[in-house]
């Protein structure tokens, strides 16, 4: 099976833009959709991006997703950072049998 690798932590200032990467170890990043989940401290995860770049209703358009086949990675981009965006973010994809794979998570600090 493949792995998804994320940076352990990122930090950025309020109002700025941050990008969190998620690199697939084998197989094409484009072969299965990528989802992104936000987990605030002490809370359950919630979906911020599904199917690579789609936002559930209620998620602000400051959140966007993309995939890059050249680097075999997906990215979560958060613009206009707010302190409330401070959380752990996880990417997730599936293999050909629909087994779920999570990235290790990225801690976002907004300072």
Which residues of the shown chain bind another protein in the complex (CB under 8 A)? 33, 35, 37, 44-47, 50-51, 54, 56, 88, 90, 92, 97-105
Of residues 44 and 83, the one with the C-beta less far from another protein: 44
Of residues 47 and 79, the one with the C-beta less far from another protein: 47
At its nearest, how many Å lie between another protein and the CB of residue 70?
Answer: 26
Of residues 37 and 110, the one with the C-beta less far from another protein: 37
Q: Which residues have CB under 8 Å from 35's CB, separation 6+?
A: 47, 49, 50, 51, 91, 92, 93
Distance between first and last Cα of the chain: 37
Residue 75 tokens read as: 């990215």
């Amino acid at each position: 099976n493949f792995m998804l690798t994320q940076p352990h932590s990122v930090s950025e200032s309020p109002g700025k833009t941050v990008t969190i990467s998620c690199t697939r170890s084998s197989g094409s990043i484009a072969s299965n959709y990528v989802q992104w989940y936000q987990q605030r401290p002490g809370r359950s995860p919630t979906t911020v991006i599904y199917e690579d770049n789609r936002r559930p209703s209620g998620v602000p358009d400051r959140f966007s997703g993309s995939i890059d086949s050249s680097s075999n990675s997906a990215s979560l981009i958060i613009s206009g950072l707010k302190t409330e965006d401070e959380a752990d973010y996880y990417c997730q994809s599936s293999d050909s049998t629909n087994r779920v794979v999570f990235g290790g998570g990225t801690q976002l600090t907004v300072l």
